[in-house]
Amino acid sequence: MKKLLGVIVTLFLLVGLSACSSDSKSSSTGGVKDEKTDKGLEEFGETIKYNPNKLVNNGDPIQIEYWTWNDTDPVIKMAKEYEKIYPNVKIKIVKHPWDDIWTKLPLALKGKNGPAMFGIHNSQHDILIPYLAPYDISASDLEADFTSVEPHIIDGKVYYTDLVINTGNIYYNKKLWAEAGLTEADIPKTWDQFREVAKKLTKFKDGKLVQAGFNYNGGGGYDAIWQGMNYQQGELMFKDNGKTVNYDNEVTKKTTKFLVDLYEVDKVGSKDFGDDSTMSFGNGQTAMVYKWGWMKGELATKYPDIEYGVFPTPTPTEEIPFAYDRYNGESTPGINKNQSKEQQAVAQDFLKYLLANDQYSKEAAFTYASFPTKKSLANDEEILSDPLLKILAPRIERLIWPGPFPATIETTSKQVIENILYNGQDMNTAIKDGQEKMESDMKDALFTSLENKYQFFNEAN
Amino acid sequence: MIASIQNKFKNFLSLKNVAIAFLVIYFAIFMVYPISKAFIGSFYDWNPLIDQFNFVGLNNFKEVIGDGLFWNSIKNTLLFTSFSVSFRLVIGLGLAMLLHSKLAKYKSFFNGMFYMPTITPLVAVSFVWMWMFNPQFGLINNIFHLDINWLNDPKYALPAITIMTIWKDFGYATVIFLAGLMGLPKDVYEAADVDGASGFKKFTNITLPLLKPTTIFILITSLISYLQAYVQILIMTEGGPGTSTYVISYLIFDEAFVKYNFGTASAMSMILFVIIAILTAIMFKVTEERKITP
């Protein structure tokens, strides 16, 4: 009896252990067999053309996995459209939280059972590039149809590129704006004008700040804005060797002093006025914040009652600066080079379907509140009718991309401003310490700056 | 001969042996292997996400020991641990004594209430306390009419996290101490009553010495737990403002899972392991029974 119990326990534990193993192997069974070559659909696309009248995977059922962190990833909708055309193909969408996907994904891609296709964020370039298959589409064809492809060409091949590009803008609360007696004519063009507007939007009660004119507390505040303000003054983020960060310099000190003075001299905000400027804006306690395109989705989801407007980030003077700001792109998907040839072939075909398709770029533009890089959409009426995208359009050419720089540049700069504001550290010392930390964190990084690919690079300081 | 082998096989497959075997396998897979891997990895420039594994000798240890942030994190860890452990013991024992006394009513109810924070997930508790400490709408400032930016003021950030941790964990000590008190022999107290000992004398000369094993148990487990604490830091301050609330485990997490420097993180882990081992050994030494020599 004891022996039988021992055997049962053994089997139970073995089953339990095997259940813990991941079963991410993509099944070769997708939908039904497809025998209809002529779908009755038209070919579409500009230089990259897609003809749907064919069989994918010879019409045999196949399933591929697509991993993403984003519930609103436009690939999800496009996958359903693709499956309608090719009923033998099943694209299984697998979602992982942002904090998890950047460890799970590379580990999955190392093996043979990782997803055939996955969302990419260029901040994770270093850990993904070893596993990416080059696009079957030539670099020249991609450059013909999309802007900002060139920084993504590696040895003549493209592994992913920018689908839409994004930068910072000023979001303002329309109700608080009107209460302060301001109109659209008061929208500031320079930082000096911005400061005066912020003062008008600031309110105190019994000596305590109750409404901030401008708030940059928390992530996506100082750590993002200093970069743009430095570029506006012609200061590059990296030194001549393209590898050493250029943080400790007079322009950074000037930028940081301006932002610190907004709080401590002009009193338009406060380090103690909450630690999350997004929440503060969403709750109607802050009149203006500097945020990137994701803010649109955040406000729509969490703070739908806020009536807000957007205007371009001010500049030092009314003349065109070296660059208005840096941009970053939401990327096209990646393809797993360790997956089977059949899986990769389907992934490459689906990718071509996406890139030839204006709808994919449009969905991404509205989802991410970012300007599409697809040239055919540069003057699209629907795109330009969006208030945020309308602001981005005239500035697109004067946005610079330094490349997928390591996260330490933003995380360390956030610590620098906290050390200055909260820990009372001297500004020059804090910036110097920040420079040292960034350099230390980046000493083994494979990163090289792409600032020299900016078309106005020669105008830098 | 065959019967002998069959008997030995039957004994081998007994429930006891099977259970022990699985425990051994479990520890080998989930403890021995990862710890060994981390030890070896501490001598390498290591990023498993891109199969980077280059031998660097003692460079990781030299970098860690020369890093001011590492020593600041150690300091914060020791401060956080010492206060959390001390208050956990004192509050836990105090409440256990109250619950054990004849004056206390509804003991089961209060026992359950005190233990509830312990079983609440730390992540959820951290989020709630983070909101409670919010300088604009938080409960703490509103109830006590304060104007403190708790989690962004370096003077208050670590104490705030410590307060939350003590609140969450005192119930565990209460329950353990209560069990210990219930197991104490009554005749010793009766003898003390006959001798006219005061309550304080009974507490210091009888209760405390008899509760020593329980106290040591709570002390050691608390020490080990708090020296590795990082979840509350991750949620409430992310090590800020600046780096003023970095503790060693958060630094290790940051190094490994944000910067992907697994080699450096492993070196820090090894140093932390040695520190915990030394502190535990000191604790055992200080609290061991003095042997009576004839």
State whether residue A429 is helix, strand or coil: helix
State whether residue A103 is helix, strand or coil: helix
- Residues B34, B100: Cα–Cα separation, whole Å: 43
For A14-18, A44-48, A201-205, A445-449, which range has the lowest pLDDT when averaged over its residues?
A14-18
Question: pTM (2 decimals)?
Answer: 0.84
Segment A129-181, tens digit of pLDDT: 999 999 999 999 999 999 989 889 999 999 999 999 999 999 999 999 999 99
- Tokens of residue B200, six digits: 């304080």
How many residues can be counted in chain A?
461
State whether residue A20 is helix, strand or coil: helix
Contact in structure between A142 and A167 (CB atoms under 8 Å): no
- Residues B283, B276: Cα–Cα separation, whole Å: 10
- The domain spans of chain A are 44-163+329-384, 169-326+396-459
CA proximity to A161, closest of A120, A117, A101: A120
Confidence of residue A25 (pLDDT cuts 50, 70, 90): very low
Please give, rounded to a whole number of angstroms, the shortest distance from the CA of A2 to a CA of chain B: 6
Across the interface, whether the CB atoms of B152 and A130 are under 8 A apart is answered no
Task: Give the β-pairing of A89-95 and A62-68.
Answer: parallel
Q: Which residues contact A175 (CB under 8 A, 6 or more apart)?
A: A284, A307
Instruction: Give one DSSP letter per residue of chain B, joined into a string.
Output: -HHHHHHHHHHHTSHHHHHHHHHHHHHIIIIIHHHHHHHHHTTEEEEGGGTEEEE-TTHHHHHHHT-HHHHHHHHHHHHHHHHHHHHHHHHHHHHHHHHHSTT--SHHHHHHHHHHHHHS-HHHHHHHHHHHT-TTT-HHHHHHT----GGGSTTTHHHHHHHHHHHHHHHHHHHHHHHHHHTS-HHHHHHHHHTT--HHHHIIIIIHHHTHHHHHHHHHHHHHHHHT--HHHHHHTTT-STTTT--HHHHHHHHHHTS--HHHHHHHHHHHHHHHHHHHHHHHHHHSPPPPP-
User: Helix, strand, coil: what percent of chain A each, to 5?
Assistant: 45, 15, 40
Across the interface, whether the CB atoms of A444 and B240 are under 8 A apart is answered no
Q: Which residues contact A278 (CB under 8 A, 6 or more apart)?
A: A218, A220, A289, A291, A295, A298
For B9-13, B85-89, B101-105, which range has the lowest pLDDT when averaged over its residues?
B9-13
Region A40-65: mean pLDDT is: 96
Please give, rounded to a whole number of angstroms, the shortest distance from the CA of B27 to a CA of chain A: 14
- Residues A143, A374: Cα–Cα separation, whole Å: 10
Q: Note whether A44-163+329-384 and A169-326+396-459 share their fold.
A: yes
Say which residue the tokens 């012609």 belong to.
A234
Instruction: Give one DSSP letter per residue of A162-222, joined into a string.
Output: EEEEE--EEEEEHHHHHHTT--GGG--SBHHHHHHHHHHT-EEETTEEEEBS----STTSH
User: Residue A114 carries which DSSP code?
Assistant: S
- Residues A119, A124: Cα–Cα separation, whole Å: 11
CA proximity to A89, closest of A52, A46, A41: A52
Segment A352-394, tens digit of pLDDT: 999 999 999 999 999 888 999 999 999 999 999 998 899 999 9
The predicted structure's pLDDT at residue B72: 95
- CA distances from residue A114 to A94, A111, A161, A266, B116 in whole angstroms, order as listed: 11, 6, 21, 54, 42
Say which residue the tokens 């338009």 belong to.
A268
Please give, rounded to a whole number of angstroms, the shortest distance from the CA of B145 to a CA of chain A: 13
- Tokens of residue A169, six digits: 């803008």
Tell me the backbone φ, ψ of residue B160, rounded to 5 degrees: -60, -45
Rg (CA), chain B: 24
Segment B230-281, tens digit of pLDDT: 999 999 999 999 999 999 999 999 999 888 899 999 999 999 899 888 888 8
- CA distances from residue A118 to A102, A128, A355, A382, B170 in whole angstroms, order as listed: 11, 10, 15, 28, 46
- Checking if the pLDDT of B158 tops 60, the result is yes
Say which residue the tokens 């850990």 belong to.
A127
Fold of the domain built from segment(s) A44-163+329-384: D-Maltodextrin-Binding Protein; domain 2 (3.40.190)
Say which residue the tokens 């830091």 belong to.
B233
- Checking if the pLDDT of B292 tops 70, the result is no
Across the interface, whether the CB atoms of B154 and A7 are under 8 A apart is answered no
Please give, rounded to a whole number of angstroms, the shortest distance from the CA of B192 to a CA of chain A: 51
Confidence of residue A27 (pLDDT cuts 50, 70, 90): very low
- Checking if the pLDDT of A101 tops 50, the result is yes
Please tell me the CATH code under which domain A169-326+396-459 is placed. 3.40.190.10
Across the interface, whether the CB atoms of B241 and A419 are under 8 A apart is answered yes
- Residues B88, B83: Cα–Cα separation, whole Å: 8
State whether residue A295 is helix, strand or coil: helix
Contact in structure between A453 and A438 (CB atoms under 8 Å): no
Region B75-100: mean pLDDT is: 95
Contact in structure between A82 and A353 (CB atoms under 8 Å): yes
Tell me the backbone φ, ψ of residue B44, rounded to 5 degrees: -125, 155
State whether residue A292 is helix, strand or coil: coil
Nearest 5°: the CA angle A327, A333, A338 is: 130
- CA distances from residue A323 to A193, A313, A452, B191 in whole angstroms, order as listed: 19, 11, 13, 87
CA proximity to A90, closest of A63, A70, A127: A63
Confidence of residue A24 (pLDDT cuts 50, 70, 90): very low
Q: Which residues contact A275 (CB under 8 A, 6 or more apart)?
A: A217, A218, B134, B135, B149, B151, B152
Say which residue the tokens 């059922």 belong to.
A61
- Residues A402, A48: Cα–Cα separation, whole Å: 27
Q: Which residues contact B122 (CB under 8 A, 6 or more apart)?
A: B168, B231, B232
The predicted structure's pLDDT at residue B156: 96
Confidence of residue A7 (pLDDT cuts 50, 70, 90): low
Chain B residues contacting A via beta carbons under 8 Å: 10, 13-15, 17-19, 22, 45, 47-51, 134-136, 147, 149, 151-154, 240-244, 257-261
Q: Which of B9, B15, B70, B127 would best serve as a mutation to test chain A binding (most A beta carbons within 10 A)?
A: B15
The predicted structure's pLDDT at residue A401: 94
Task: Give the β-pairing of A162-166 and A371-372.
Answer: antiparallel
Residue B240 is nearest to which of A7, A130, A415, comparing CB atoms? A415
Q: Which of A206, A217, A275, A437 would best serve as a mutation to test chain B binding (most B beta carbons within 10 A)?
A: A275
Q: How many CB atoms lie within 10 A of CB A2?
A: 12
Q: Which of B50, B72, B134, B264 would best serve as a mutation to test chain A binding (most A beta carbons within 10 A)?
A: B50
Tell me the backbone φ, ψ of residue A72, rounded to 5 degrees: -105, 20
Segment A285-338, tens digit of pLDDT: 999 999 998 898 889 989 999 999 999 999 999 999 999 999 999 999 999 999
SS (H, E, C) A144-174: HHECCCHHHEECCEECCCEEEEECCEEEEEH
